[in-house]
Structure 1
């Protein structure tokens, strides 16, 4: 919990959703608070010393992301009592600053521990503690209002009609099917949706189930938020003491495409490291999971979608350890499917019924096309000329009965800049440059 007297309106953390601190996991005060067995904690300590050679009590505690007092000190006491570590002396007072090293017996035990799992680092969070916190975190998900939606999509040209469809879908926090012709911004819409939630979520470094370790935190996906409060009225620096096995991160947005398979939706076990990597949907908990270019995966769409039926209905998923044990884990994210194909050709009616929001992202009308072109030109530093777009429409689109796509302005402006660079002239929406771009770009569209 936040320190006494902490006022959200001060928000020294600069959090987008400071009330998330109400559910912050407190720092463990005892071994029982960690929810972990002594054997697992002892193994982590042994493996740390095996690789480090020697280490102080504080260093062992920092590696495990657990407090020395009341927790790691008892782990070290256990290792010493079993004659697995020796004291090597140290600087300062107290056992926390004493250096420890493995005995010969300790090295033997450490090697044995490494045959079970090579994982070394922050102690895991028991699956029961994870499930409880994620359930509480779901209740903290902010409501997205009309103004929030307009602000989040301000960099895109989106019709009012499409806005009114997206708003309720986003607030449902469940599932969304975006479909329509390619090049009209479905992926950009989904990514913007993920950012509009804002706020922060708690992500564990790893999980524990049946003494097995599952790595969750991913530096590519999760962006930590520093938890330092600044100073109080007396100038003393305030800190927020929470369980360091967790990181407070920006809401994650996970995007997967053609690489998605049924295997990657379950735990990924490494025979060499002997611990697990969490699947995409677990890493996306609290945020958004976008299945981009749906229907282009190697696995059949029906098989892939059947995998989501239970999670979509029950808001829980079931994962399987390599031992065969199944366990329950929260399925707490906005699941977005994006496809260029007709949804009716991909899946049957039964599955489409389970996805409540199916929104078509169609081709832009001429007015929207001009606005997109204007924005692209502005971003590229090229003067926008409306008559040039009239020429483009009348001489290329209409005679060839071509459909306008939202991506065309970006691609055409890029080609204009390439041609201008080659000619060593300033880029502009001139007839010559526009014709050259259209002749190489629009010919097969």
Structure 2
């Protein structure tokens, strides 16, 4: 990826944005009482904690922020110091515990919300960060696209349409028969996007509510220099940026048949009383691939209608359980990938709103040969043109069967299975091809 022609990042690993330093409670943008409740919930749920450990859990610096929070809690007799170790680290090494009065207040706070993690970031701060980091996206040229797609065999026409679609950063509709590489193309896009980094917060703060943002399944952390580590690594040496943010690879998130309309809005946990950010918010700054589009549990048209405003205006509107709408940037390249005919999924009005529509058709015989040759080489199957000619004549032409880009991989796997069982070499003989094809193809 290093050889791709892309603009040099302005700073900070390609994000063009660095979360500013937090030196006092006011810098957090959060109410002091709300932070006190959060600290109480953390101590209540974990028991005795040092001041340094509380700062780690809050993802806030100790000096000037966490120590002020703890001072207020001590003043109100909500916590107490159980021991003061002589370590030279000052009050950050003190061991803190709840008082009876503190237990009551912590329980009241937990009834409102059981969130007890890193301090959130105000949504306005997050929105500005998304806009600032939108400028650092990768831009590809024809040359760099050839490097990016070098592992795929595509027609020149298809190839020349993919680059502008990726650069658009808007929306792509990939359609065509199954097994021809639509998902592989999207994943190649994802590999490119993930070669850059960005910052996201652990959580968002909206009208006193918490929206959990960072997701260890969908977000990949980037190791930072020692001076820019999260609170866990840099509180002792001084924070250079707001530790409520984490540095990640730009996200590439894949959703399939499990996607629902409800999953595209804020998901409120009635038990724990905080929100989970929807897929498209977690994908901000990167790519959201909707794979197998049309096979979701909701009607395709209903799902597509949900995307009209975000795709046109590049902003999304999410709904709190109170009914209040919040605006959030929509900096996502949405890739719809489907095996179904477009006329069965969308109407002309919606297709107009999709920036790029690209059909990924069946490979030509020459492309099929090149795919087979590459796959055989990678899987250590002995390739020969005579064997391929026999396969095409006997199992494709005679059966009027369509070529699919995925077939070489699957047929080579069959050859490997059979050769292993027979204790023979994986070679493309007529006998081996017949056995592989009989086991693989089914006439429908």
Aligned in 2, Cα 1:122/1:229: closer, same or farther, shift over 3 Å? closer
Q: Is the 8 A contact 2:252 2:283 kept in 1?
A: yes
- Residue in structure 2 matched with residue 272 of structure 1 by the alignment: 271
Residues 220-269 of structure 1, C-alpha deviations (whole Å, 9 max, x = no match): 11111111169xxxxxxx99722111111111111011111101111111
- Residue in structure 1 matched with residue 169 of structure 2 by the alignment: 173
- Residue in structure 2 matched with residue 392 of structure 1 by the alignment: 391
2:69 matches 1:75:
yes
CA distance in 2, matches of 1:83, 1:240: 29
Following superposition, the deviation at residue 363 of structure 1 comes to: 0.2
Following superposition, the deviation at residue 47 of structure 1 comes to: 1.0
CA distance in 2, matches of 1:21, 1:298: 36
Q: 2:59 aligns with which of 46, 65, 85?
A: 65
- TM-score normalised to the size of structure 1? 0.92
What does 1:32-111 correspond to in 2, within 5 Å? Answer: 32-91=26-85, 92-93=87-88, 94-111=90-107
SS at match of 1:307: helix
- Residue in structure 1 matched with residue 179 of structure 2 by the alignment: 183
CA distance in 1, matches of 2:344, 2:286: 29
Range moving further from structure 2, 156-165 or 291-300: 156-165
- TM-score normalised to the size of structure 2? 0.92
- Residue in structure 1 matched with residue 310 of structure 2 by the alignment: 311
Q: Is the 8 A contact 2:130 2:329 kept in 1?
A: yes
Following superposition, the deviation at residue 44 of structure 1 comes to: 1.4
- Residue in structure 2 matched with residue 353 of structure 1 by the alignment: 352
- Residue in structure 1 matched with residue 230 of structure 2 by the alignment: none
Unaligned runs of 5+ in 2: 1-8, 228-236
CA distance in 2, matches of 1:358, 1:213: 38
What does 1:232-251 correspond to in 2, within 5 Å? Answer: 241-251=240-250
Unaligned runs of 5+ in 1: 1-14, 231-237
Range moving further from structure 2, 121-130 or 72-81: 72-81
CA distance in 1, matches of 2:49, 2:402: 67
SS at match of 1:400: coil
CA distance in 2, matches of 1:387, 1:40: 74
Aligned residues: 425
SS at match of 2:174: strand
2:211 matches 1:217:
no
SS at match of 2:205: strand
What is the RMSD computed on CA atoms of the aligned residues? Answer: 1.8
What does 1:115-134 correspond to in 2, within 5 Å? Answer: 115-134=111-130
Residues 71-106 of structure 1, C-alpha deviations (whole Å, 9 max, x = no match): 111111211121111122321353222221111000
Q: 1:138 aligns with which of 115, 134, 143?
A: 134
CA distance in 2, matches of 1:39, 1:339: 50
Aligned in 2, Cα 1:21/1:90: closer, same or farther, shift over 3 Å? farther
Q: Is the 8 A contact 2:381 2:416 kept in 1?
A: no
2:335 matches 1:336:
yes
Aligned in 2, Cα 1:21/1:195: closer, same or farther, shift over 3 Å? closer
Residues 266-321 of structure 1, C-alpha deviations (whole Å, 9 max, x = no match): 11111121111111101111110000011111100010000000000111111111
2:204 matches 1:207:
yes
- Residue in structure 2 matched with residue 227 of structure 1 by the alignment: 224
Following superposition, the deviation at residue 18 of structure 1 comes to: 4.6
What does 1:158-169 correspond to in 2, within 5 Å? Answer: 158-169=154-165
Aligned in 2, Cα 1:18/1:157: closer, same or farther, shift over 3 Å? farther
Following superposition, the deviation at residue 27 of structure 1 comes to: 2.3
Aligned in 2, Cα 1:120/1:304: closer, same or farther, shift over 3 Å? same
Q: Is the 8 A contact 1:149 1:196 kept in 2?
A: no
- Residue in structure 2 matched with residue 5 of structure 1 by the alignment: none
